[in-house]
Every structure is written in C-alpha cells, then in structure tokens.
Structure 1
Amino acid sequence: MAIQIGDRIPEAVLQFIDASGVHKIDTPTLFDHRKLVLFSVPGAFTPTCSERHLPSFIAHADAFRARGISLACMAVNDAFVMQAWGNAYHVPAEIQLLADGNADFTRALGLEMDASGYGMGVRSKRFALYAENGIVKGLWVEAPGEYRVSSAEHVLAQLPA
C-alpha cells in the first residue's frame, strides 16, 4: 500500500555525492526535525524530468526556502548519475539530489512503477511529498505519463503560506 498523509516516512538509506565523496543518509536523518519537500522523478536525464520537473523546483527554490522548507530530489539512479545530472542542469546546493539505486525507499513508500517496457526496470512514480518532522503532510502522485500535481508551482499552492 502506498504511503498516505499522516504516515511516518519509512526507514531506508539513500546516497548522495558532495565535494568530499559518496555518502549514505538514512531517512530519519533526512526528514526528522525539518520541513522537507521530496520530489521524485522516474529518471535523471529523461525528457520531462530534465526539461520541466527539475527546472520547476530550481526556479522556485527561493519560495520554498522563504517558507522554511528544504528541497530534495530523488530518482532510482545511482549517486554518480544524480551528481552528473545536477552538474548538467546547474542544480543549486539547496536542492539535495538523492539516489535510491535499488529502489528500496521507493518500494517502502509504495510508489514504484514497472518501467521495464522502456528498458528502465523498477522506477519511482513521479511525485512530490511534503513532510514535517518525518510525517507526511502532503502527497501529490502523478498519473502515468502526466506532469501536473508534482510541479513546484502546484506544491507551493498547496502548502501553508
């Protein structure tokens, strides 16, 4: 069953790369004691993800920060792909790029999809999730092939000012 509003974020370990190398971060560390919007894309460097979804959050990063909300982007890719994607699209440091390489967190959320028909295996559905102190307060999951409700503009409009 997919995660719901009011649920606690499940425990899993993600990866990211910074100037000092590859790091692991568990979800309690990522989500607890903060407000965080996690948006997930089916794959780095894919068309909608690169041309619309990620750029929407880059363009509105200041608006989230002004509300005290941190941003993270996740994909079922490895940390090196996420780093290269961030470099290619000039992702600012305030948007943390997270790798869920084996889709463990994606499965724990119940938000996986089978993209085998596209040669991509198990991937994350496109979604945005807003959590406060590890509790889901907002969740916007796209229908297959759509990009509407997980955009930065839509998420901002749904959050308290």
Structure 2
Amino acid sequence: MFHLGKTVQLSTATAVRSFHTSKAVFLFGSGVIKEGATLPNHTLFENEPKNKVNTKDLFAGKKGLLFGVPGAFTPGCSKTHLPGYVNAASDFKKLGYDTIVCVTVNDPFVCQAWAKEHKAEGKVRVLADPDAKFTKALGLEKDMTAVLGNVRSSRYAMVVDDNKVKKVFVEPDGTGLTCSLSNSVLDAIKKGDLAK
C-alpha cells in the first residue's frame, strides 16, 4: 500500500497546528489484485527454506493457475480445495494450463508434508508464504488470529498467463468453498470467461 499525503494547517486563536493527512492508495485499486494486473514479485519457498521460488518465474511464458488457502491440514483445504486441483491437473493440462500452484501462509516443512499427503507432486506445487508478504501484496490476507493464530490467506484462485491475471475467483467470506474450486475455474476457462 502506498500513501499520498499533504500537510494541512489549522489556525486557532491561540495556536497554529499542522498535521499530516494521508489517503491509502492500493496498488490494485480496491486492495485486491484485479484482472489484467501483473502478479507481484515475491519469494516463496518449496519444501524447505533454502528452496526459494520467485513468483515471477512461476508463470513466465506459461499459462497456469494460482490458488490460495487459509492453511495446510485445515479441513476445507485438505478435504476439498487441494485434492480438487490435484485430481483436475490433467484436465487443466489438456486446456494448456500445466502450472498449478497452491500458496499458503505456513512454513515450507508443513507445506511439504501436506503436499506429500495429497500426492500433489508433479500436479500441484505447494508453496509457503510464511510471512504472508505475497498474500498481502495480492490484497488477499485475512486475519484468522482467533482460529489459526495469525494472518492467513483468503481462499481464492486465479488464472494466470505469462504473469498476467486473467481471472480472479475470491470467496466472498474468504474461507468458503464455492467459486475458487477447481470445477468453477475449469468451467470459466472452457467458457472463455477470461480477461483479454
């Protein structure tokens, strides 16, 4: 988030006071990344902290899918969201989308164990965003401190082409299991319902 500000002076009978006003200006308008925008450049981690993955490299010259989940090993993420993309990986590949990435605000070791449990290797790359910097850059963070202990990711999915966001699916409450699921994204691709 960037701030544009100006200094305002107010005069009273006894003193002149100055204060700074600032208006929040989000990189993508309302805060959430928009269709047609370029993915922000950040470092994620795969399997362990030494394996750094640059987000720009994930989709450079490629068509793919990016989806975010509130947390590895949580019920909706483990029973529905990740398995749906693992099972649909071949369907997406037939349509020319061979890069599927799941991002979660967990440490890389947890992500590695979660990916292994769901047999995601070769189908979905499960990447860690431990400090939520990438998630915040997308404008998709959600405070889940009361339940999960910290800020996590809202549940979302995106269709990406050469780092350009072609379609964004964000769950209205940030955690539901509707528009961001693999079948919804597949339907949108098949219908050609993507930003030009």
Superposition TM-score tier, normalisation by shorter sequence = over 0.9
For residues 92 and 85 of structure 2, what CA distance do their matches in structure 1 show? Answer: 9
Residue 145 (structure 2) aligned to one of 104, 108, 116 = 116
Match of 2:180 in 1: 150
- Structure 1 length as normaliser, TM-score? 0.94
- Structure 2 length as normaliser, TM-score? 0.77
For 1:124-135, list aligned pairs within 5 A: 124-135=153-164
Residue by residue, what CA displacement relative to the aligned partner does 1:68-110 show, whole Å, maximum 9, x if unpaired? 2121111000110000001112223221111001001000000
Residue 93 (structure 1) aligned to one of 103, 114, 122 = 122
Contact between 2:69 and 2:153, CA under 8 Å: does it hold in 1? yes
Contact between 2:143 and 2:152, CA under 8 Å: does it hold in 1? yes
For residues 130 and 100 of structure 1, what CA distance do their matches in structure 2 show? Answer: 19
The total of aligned residue pairs comes to: 159
For the residue of structure 2 that corresponds to 1:113, the secondary structure is strand
For residues 108 and 125 of structure 2, what CA distance do their matches in structure 1 show? Answer: 11
Residue 59 (structure 2) aligned to one of 6, 9, 31 = 31
Q: CA RMSD in A?
A: 1.5
Residue by residue, what CA displacement relative to the aligned partner does 1:113-140 show, whole Å, maximum 9, x if unpaired? 0001114210000000111011100100
Contact between 1:31 and 1:131, CA under 8 Å: does it hold in 2? yes
For residues 138 and 172 of structure 2, what CA distance do their matches in structure 1 show? Answer: 16
- Residue 6, structure 1, aligned to residue 36, structure 2: yes
For residues 30 and 89 of structure 1, what CA distance do their matches in structure 2 show? Answer: 21
- Paired residue type of 1:15: F
- Paired residue type of 1:159: I
Contact between 1:22 and 1:79, CA under 8 Å: does it hold in 2? no
Once the 2 structures are TM-superposed, how far is the Cα of residue 59 of structure 1 from its aligned partner?
Answer: 1.3
Match of 2:45 in 1: 15
Q: Which runs of 4+ in 1 moved over 2 A?
A: none
Residue 131 (structure 2) aligned to one of 102, 126, 151 = 102
Match of 2:10 in 1: none
Instruction: Give the unaligned 5+ runs of structure 2.
Output: 1-30
Higher relative contact order (CA 8 A, sep 6+): 1
Residue 93 (structure 2) aligned to one of 65, 76, 80 = 65
Match of 1:52 in 2: 80
State which structure, 1 or 2, has the greater radius of gyration over its C-alpha atoms. Answer: 2
- Structure with bigger helix share is 1
- Paired residue type of 1:66: K
